[in-house]
Amino acid sequence: MTETQELLDALREQRRTLLITARGLTDEQAATRSTVSELTLGGIVNHLTHGERNWTLILSSGTGETPPGMFDMDQYKMPPGAGLAGLVAAYEAAARATDEAVERVGLDTVVPLPEAPWEPGVVPRWSVRRIVLHLLRETAQHSGHADFLREAIDGASTTAQLGD
C-alpha cells in the first residue's frame, strides 16, 4: 500500500465515523442546537463539505488564490431549507473529489496557500501531504464536536454505533 493510499484510507475512515454521528437523524434534529454552542450536526457537515471543496481547489489550482467563501462564517451553519441527506451527499461528493485530486497531484507537490485575514502578507506553502493531514485533523476535531452534539440530542454514541 502506498503512502497516499494509507493517508486517504485514514481520512476516509474518519469521514465515515463523522457520518455515523448523523445517521438516523431527522432534518430538524440535524439543525438543532443541542448545547450552548451555535454548532449543529448539519452545520458541521456543511462546514466540512466547504473545507473539502476549498482545499481541493487550493491543491488543484496551485495558485494560492482564495476559494470563494473560504472564510465565510455561514459555512458553520445548516443552510435554511437544507436537508441532512442532501448535506451528506454533498459531503461525500466533495470527499471523492478531494481524494481524486490528491491522487492526481501527488503528496509531494507544494502549493501556496491563500493569505488568511488573520495573517496579512503571509503566504505559507504546504505540501499536498500536509493538506491531507490538515483535513484529517479537521475532520477528527469536528467528529468529536459532532459526537457531543448527537449525545445531547438523543443520547446516541458514535462509538456504540460503529458496528451497526
* Per-chain mean pLDDT for the chain: 93
Q: What is the pTM of this model?
A: 0.93
What SS3 class is residue 157?
A: coil
What SS3 class is residue 125?
A: strand
> What pLDDT is attached to residue 116?
86
Q: Which residues of 14-35 are buried (b: 16+ CB within 10 A; e: fewer)?
A: bbebbbbbbeebebebbbbebe
Q: What is Dmax (Cα atoms) for the chain?
A: 48
> What pLDDT is attached to residue 117?
86
> What pLDDT is attached to residue 41?
95
> What pLDDT is attached to residue 158?
75
31, 103, 150 from 107: Cα distances, Å? 36, 8, 34
